[in-house]
Chain A
Amino acid sequence: MACLVRSWIPLLFLQSFLVAIAFGSNEGEEFSEELLLKPLPDRKVLAHFHFENRAPPSNSHGRNHHLFPKAISQLVQKFRVKEMELSFTQGRWNHEHWGGFDPLSSMNAKPVGVELWAVFDVPQSQVDISWKNLTHALSGLFCASINFLESSTSYAAPTWGFGTNSDKLRYGSLPREAVCTENLTPWLKLLPCRDKDGISALMNRPSVYRGFYHSQRLHLSTVESGQEGLGSGIVLEQTLTVVIQPETTSVETNMQPSWSLSSLFGRKVVGSCVLAKSSNVYLQLEGRLGHESKNVDTEIEAHKLWMNSDFDLSLKPDRVIRESSSLLFIFDIDKSSDSEPFDLGLTWKLPSKWSCEQAPLHASRFLMGSGNERGAIAILLKATESQEKLSGRNLTTDGRCTIKANIFQIFPWYIKVYYHTLQIFVDQQQKTDSEVLKKINVSPSTDKVSSGMLEMMLELPCEVKSAAISIEYDKGFLHIDEYPPDANQGFDIPSALISFPSHHASLDFQEELSKSPLLSSFKEKSLVRSYTEVLLVPLTTPDFSMPYNVITITCTIFALYFGSLLNVLRRRIGEEERFLKSQGKKRGGLKQLLSRLTAKIRGRPIEAPSSESPAAESSFLSSKLIFKIILVAGAAAAWQYFSTDK
């Protein structure tokens, strides 16, 4: 493997050199790979891979890419995608321990399953068509059932609740989509070095999928050139966020586990991807280090930062950047080679504790009620500890301090929500809508046609401890062929999105940065948002395992219906009477026998037979009949006995 890589590297160098000659400008496509590592307070480690691929604006006709994936550029051109984000996630983001107020979590904490949103640059009437085509194209590209988002019952068009204000935005999510390597492989194919070289070589499938959370994201946006005749440029951002628990041998529970890249991923980095403009690894240490001395200019001070009494880094960082509450160590992996692979390690010497910054309110969502008929959805917003120290509070005109919270929620049509039952409680006091509700936008669902959507903006006082929103619903009935497989598990309600429009997360670096796409994206202000849990609603489900019963009952009903219908059509009463009279004699015997039998049972004298047939004949008949029955029964018993004996 290493051999192969080594032999390829000169070739690739040559290639990139040629390419550089051919295009000969700094306007060319750029690719950069970065990895951010961050120990988390609950003894886990977060690894955030970030790959950015930029294609500058140029003439769209006859265009060839040499780094940028052709599939994506074709997608953008074909469906006129202005901005798009697709994420595949497994596991839940732990807002309490992993943070909720930094750019990393607000961008990469995604709902379970698949989430897709896209803004189109087409006339309003064609947005839905473009969306449907896009879902199918992505479905093929990523080996996932994204095409289920095509149906109008599964997506919505948020107006302002999602954060991006556009009427050409479509949003949909599939909570039940299982995420696996088959989704990762096509995603990796979009990278110029795939997972053969550079940072992406770390993505060892077992270690990635062993993690507590992993979310692979693809975000693309087009950049208008502004020049006449030139098309638009595309920025493709691919991230993979993984939370891994390092294996430890220490028994001490309050000691943070030590780790290295090779222990986390089972692989090491040998050199960067040669096509990448920059390939860096960052290590972010949060919390307790922020308040230390501010001048890190001297060499000794810097050395102290990465090799001190608390922890040791196995490699010397190229740079150390200070943020308001954390330290960022930057490593350039260009220097590493086969003989000297890049294997960053962190060894803790002393127990340390810190906490992550949390969003102003922690959101959780749950179902209320029981039974198969009605229920309610409740969203509970709880104040977090970091609420007090947060800036970004809004002062309204009358001087009150408020927190704004947007709630965006899609309801599948079989959850028939009664929007008038919306109740809002703030600190256990019920509030009227006008007191806290600043804006609300409701689009009710249509049965089997479209899903419902609720967007609302709450304005809560800053000192709020908890707020609860509840809304009642009825459970609908599905047609028998609309049930998905494993219908008895229940039906999912996609995550609600809670965003705080007046709060923005950003990392505030004190120094001027080099052009690192990851760090500059962190420096930009991003909306603080968090997704709630997916809910499972048990609906009434028919018993699919009993088709036999259904067939039997249906056949019986058919037989009864047609039988009686034919009877009515066919019968001629007069004919029948005559026939019965002629047959009376024959039937008389059996009837008499029955009457005699019952008379014997009741212990009464035999009533005189009404029929004309003589008694002797009937008794003869009956004894014959009894004899016959006994004979048949005996034969049957003998047959049974002898046949089973063998």
Chain B
Amino acid sequence: MATEKRDKEEEEVKTDDGSLKIKPRPIVQLGIFLVAHSPVFSVVFSAAGVLALLILPLLAKNTYISENALMPGSARSMLSNRDVSDGSKLVKDIKNYRLNHEGQVQKLIGKYMSEMGAEVYYQKFHPEGNQFHPLHFFSGPDSYTLLDNVSCASYGVNVAGIIRAPRGDGKESIVLVTPYDFINGGDYEALSLGITGTLFSLLARVTWLSKDIIWLVADSRYGDYRPVAAWLTEYHSPSFKDSDLLKCGELNTADKFRRAGTMAAALVLKVDGRSERFEDTLSIYAEASNGQMPNLDLINVVNYLAVHRQGFYVKVEKVVSLLSSSWLKIIGEIFEAVGKLAHTLNPDWNFGIPTADYLEGSATLASSLYSQALGIPTGPHGAFRDYQVDAITLKVSPRFPPDSKTRQHDFFLRGAKLLEGTIRSVNNLLEKFHQSFFLYLLTSPSKFISVGVYMIAFALLVASLPMVAASLYIDGCKALNNSTLNPAGNFKSWKWLDAAKQVFALHLFGLIVTLLPYFICQVPGQHSPSNRSIMWGTTSSSLLLITFATIPGCSPFSSRRHGTNWAVLKSVTISAAFIGLCLMSIINFATAEIGALLLVPTCLIVQPIKPALRSRRIKSLLGAFCSMVLLTIGFPVMLFAISKGLFGEGLVGLSLGGEFWTWLESLWAWKSATYLYIGMVHLPCWLLCLCILFHPS
């Protein structure tokens, strides 16, 4: 980037002086060359960027255990039938208790834990989740207990048991979480308690523990995430002040909260639905807020043990609709053919993979990219990432119905063995997870793409932006020099100022639009999401009109005298988009990647529509049409609708506005930086492109 800028300056010097004094250095020459031929290079770079994204599944590497201390699977499992029968008894007890009693199953689980020799406590929490506050967007997890005037009408109760490592020093701990709905949890959910109960029975008597074990049974009546987040908040930043919540119910939880040192890792275990495959299925969820991932070693250990020791079918989420898409299949076939050809040329070139693998890989990659870009955690493990704890969610689907007793024993044994192996590996760890990757995308449970590879696509996409900006600026300056005769032309280097004003105004507008929902939420009275979105839409559009009216030269409909040269405007727009994308790539790479995929072609292709229509040449008409299409797709609401359709969530109808509002609400509730990106980078750039499209030149 720096070189590009320097190139620009050199270019100016050259044009200003008119004559070539010194032959510029080769790197400068190269810059000049690139800028001069920017249309070609921008097309080449963008195409290469898209291609690089498409060949990512081919470049995926097999995962490997990077930290030697983990040693997964090297120890013999110590689980016995006694442990399994303990776990089965717990599940049976819970079932019976819920049939016969009304009341708190938590106490039953607490009793089980304390019989195992654990320290047990209960924690009450409020289901009220995150509130959007613009000032707290990037701040850490705040203390929710600041809420005053809480009512006892709804609250959840978590149970947690701590096994102290017999010879450990109590500095570190490993957390096991099983979300369970104590009121209407199904039979499948109870199985997760069975697995963890089995494991807990073992861990209570083993001597190899060096880290304490915490088993948290989260009250998932109000969602999976909230109880875990509440527990973590209490663990890490308790409020020592008096809380009304403690007085609710007959369960006294005051001053009973116990801790067990710094958390080394956390595992969330869920059992849901029956597996549609022959084997038991294990799904791994790892994405936390803002695309943060746990250390790859944690996933590797679980995957290794599940596949090679316990015979689970391991999968990660994928976009199912992509599996059947024909265009991707064609691309896969092309890659396969190229791979085969390369293999015949040189047997060492083995980059080709079968089409089916390619489809699987790209569907998983797309899902991985999407979940990271969305910035919403895919499970309760996301709460741990806020405290720099590596955590993943394991969702197990047994292949048998929940009431089958014989199968259940085997299932508990295998599930507990998997967890035992994982805990043993983490227990071996002297340092915290730091050896393996934190920035990666998964294309299958055992294949990953590291940051060094996947950033190439983004870099290629973005690389064309400064080139085009520079060349457009030069063109614009030339045009201005030719057209304007006013004395203001003396300030040649300030030509971009008018355009910059417009860009700045629209970015300011974007910021206001981003903050508007907070104020709309403050509007008294109950409003449906649709109404809120209409309120938002109307306020935003009226604000936009005000912006256009008050700031001269901002509007695309203003008279030509005020208007800036469109080439300069486009140049500044592209620079702004470039800066925005680069900043976003630091915060959340996946968002920047997807954003670049949308924004870069739009920014590059957009041109005033009027001259194109006037000229009536096929080429310019095609260009105008393309920019129209891209701009339509680029509208955030439209984008949302398309992504909904892609993920097979049905046709979106009239309630689109409402759904969009709910979606955005979830984004800001999770403090996703994607929300800021949409409001402060994507929307202004999209509006600027619109301005360019309707520019009266």
Contacts and interface: CB of A to CB of B under 8 A. Distances in A.
B171 A535 contact: yes
A369 B240 contact: no
A581 to B, nearest CB: 9
Most A CB contacts (10 A, CB to CB) among B170, B171, B345 go to B171
A536 B262 contact: yes
B166 interface: yes
Interface in B16-45: 22-23, 33, 37, 39-40
Contacts of B274: none
B417 interface: no
Contacts, number: 114
B262 A538 contact: yes
B585 to A, nearest CB: 20
Given A489-B432, A601-B40, A534 B171 contact: yes
B261 interface: yes
A488 B166 contact: no
Interface in A592-617: 594, 598, 601-602
A633 to B, nearest CB: 13
B336 interface: no
A23 interface: no
Given A370-B387, A533-B261, A598-B40, A488 B431 contact: yes
Interface stretch (A31-39, A121-129, A422-430): A422-430
A90 B115 contact: no
A476 interface: no
Contacts of B166: 91, 212
Interface size class of A (residues with CB under 8 A): 35 or more
A644 interface: yes
B388 A370 contact: yes
Interface stretch (A64-72, A182-190, A220-228, A360-368): A360-368
B8 interface: no
A641 B342 CA distance: 11
Interface in B232-264: 236-238, 240-243, 254-255, 258-259, 261-262
Contacts of B346: 640-641, 644
A509 B379 CA distance: 61
A486 B430 CA distance: 7
A577 interface: yes
Interface string A474-511: 00000000000011111010000000000000000000
B649 interface: no
B171 A536 contact: yes
B434 interface: yes
Contacts of A489: 430-432
Given A430-B241, A465-B255, A492 B167 contact: no
A545 interface: yes
Contacts of A487: 431
Given A90-B167, A429-B242, A490-B262, A644 B140 contact: no
Given A382-B255, A486-B430, A112 B386 contact: no
A92 interface: yes
Contacts of A602: 37, 39-40
Interface in A535-564: 535-536, 538, 541, 543, 545
A113 B258 CA distance: 23
Contact of A371 (B22, B23, B33, B388): B388
B372 to A, nearest CB: 21
Nearest to A90: B167
B34 to A, nearest CB: 11
A30 to B, nearest CB: 35
A425 B167 contact: no
A545 B464 CA distance: 35
A468 interface: yes
B653 interface: no
B388 A538 contact: yes
A600 to B, nearest CB: 11
B124 interface: no
Given A370-B386, A465-B255, A533-B170, A92 B164 contact: yes
Contacts of A598: 37, 40
B23 A580 contact: yes
Nearest to B429: A489
Interface string A630-646: 00000000001100110
A21 interface: no
A492 B432 contact: no
A28 to B, nearest CB: 41
Contact of B240 (A367, A468, A538, A645): A468
A283 B430 CA distance: 40
Contacts of A466: 254-255
Contacts of A366: 259, 261
A293 interface: no
B171 A488 contact: no
Given A382-B255, A488-B431, A534 B169 contact: yes
A368 B167 contact: no
A574 to B, nearest CB: 11
B255 A536 contact: no
B425 to A, nearest CB: 16
A335 to B, nearest CB: 36
Contacts of A465: 254-255
Contact of B172 (A378, A486, A536, A580): A536
A212 B167 contact: yes
Contacts of B39: 602
Nearest to A209: B167
B347 interface: yes
A428 B241 contact: yes
Contacts of B141: 370
Contacts of A492: 171
Interface in B338-390: 345-348, 386-388
Nearest to B242: A428
A370 B254 CA distance: 24
A533 B346 CA distance: 62
Nearest to B82: A251
Contacts of B254: 465-466
B528 interface: no
A253 interface: yes
A317 interface: no
Contacts of B172: 536
A535 B259 CA distance: 11
B435 interface: yes
A256 interface: no
Interface in A102-119: 112-113
A545 B259 contact: no
Contact of A644 (B22, B33, B170, B347): B347
A551 B37 CA distance: 37
A87 interface: no
Contacts of B261: 366, 533, 535-536
B236 A369 contact: yes
A644 B432 contact: no
B262 A367 contact: yes
Contact of B434 (A364, A378, A488, A536): A488
Contacts of A543: 434
Interface string A571-597: 001001100100000000000001000
Contacts of A644: 346-348
Contacts of B236: 367-370
Contacts of B242: 428-429
B377 to A, nearest CB: 16
A345 to B, nearest CB: 24
Interface in B402-438: 430-432, 434-435
18 contacts: A90-B167, A112-B170, A113-B169, A211-B167, A367-B236, A370-B141, A370-B236, A370-B388, A465-B254, A466-B254, A489-B431, A533-B170, A535-B261, A536-B171, A598-B37, A601-B37, A640-B346, A644-B346
The 7 lowest CB-CB distance pairs between A and B, nearest first, are A488-B431, A425-B240, A428-B242, A536-B171, A370-B387, A468-B240, A112-B169
Given A112-B170, A470-B240, A541-B434, 7 more contacts: A91-B169, A113-B169, A428-B240, A428-B242, A466-B254, A487-B431, A644-B347
